[in-house]
Amino acid sequence: MNVSNRRQNRALNCLQDPQTAVNNNSLSTSKAVIIVAIIFLSSVLALGFLYKQFPDLEDQERQHLKLPWDLDDAKHLGLVLDRYKEKYFYEVLLGVFLVYIFLQTFAIPGSLFLSILSGFLFPFYFALILVCCCSAIGASLCFFLSNILGKRVVKMFFPERAAQWSIAVEKHKHNLLNYMIFLRVTPFLPNWFINLTAPVIGVPLVPFALGTFIGVAPPSFVAIQAGQTLHTLTSTSDAWSWTSMTVLALFAIISLVPVLLKQKLKKKFE
């Protein structure tokens, strides 16, 4: 058995053995599910309360006040919110903020359209900071929920994939911040998978949250820039170009430069 196979077996054993799991807890599965369900329902009620507090809308407008599942939804919602933004700026801002965090916390698709929508509604740099903050907060809350229930989900659905990532995390344990930034910039692992498995395989919260905040900036930059011309977009692929892909690749390389320099200096002084 080669070294990589032995590492993968150890990682799988760590996921399967509750005594060796890094984030093991004493909650039963039923209690964990109940806690997550209560948090989810409380979040939905909070969003419902926010919806009720929004100013009165015309019938044709109210039908568009919903989570954007595609670009058309984002366009219609953007036009509605833009009409009320000047008079109800903080209500619109709070709505985008809470909905974005809700989607990130529970790994629900749609945050890309909210990033595009933020670029349409707000000044560029304000929107960029907003999206980065929402991504970091939502991912951290998902991290918390995964600590409660994630080990059971990972063990059931993604044991081998999580074991492979566990090996990679072990390799980069001294450079986890840079590694997290690299993963957020690049599409090698989906964000929902990173949020779900990070606490299970022992990624600490601080590099996870900070790496998320920094790492989502480059792809958010592209989405927000596209949002400034939302009315002309016909699909999300219009937001991507060779220039934007080159920028993302450049950011990914930059995130690894400190790691490479650190390794080079370490070899030099050994």
Task: Retrieve residue 41's tokens.
Answer: 């329902």
Residue positions counted in the chain: 270
In a domain, 89, yes or no: yes
Tens-place pLDDT, residues 149-181: 877 777 777 777 777 778 877 877 777 888 888
Q: Mention every residue, 6+ apart, whose C-beta is less than 8 A from residue 76.
A: 64
Full residue range of the structural domain in which residue 101 is found: 68-234
CA–CA separation, 208 and 84 (whole Å): 36
In a domain, 245, yes or no: no
Q: Are the C-beta atoms of residues 211 and 251 closer than 8 Å to each other?
A: no
Residues 153, 39, 155, CA angle at the centre, nearest 5°? 5
In a domain, 213, yes or no: yes
Tens-place pLDDT, residues 5-61: 555 555 555 454 433 444 444 567 788 888 889 999 999 998 888 888 777 777 777
In a domain, 94, yes or no: yes
Please tell me whether the overall predicted TM-score, pTM, comes out greater than 0.85 for this model: no
Q: How many domains in the chain?
A: 1
CA–CA separation, 223 and 187 (whole Å): 15
In a domain, 247, yes or no: no
CA–CA separation, 119 and 114 (whole Å): 9
114 or 226, which is more confident: 114
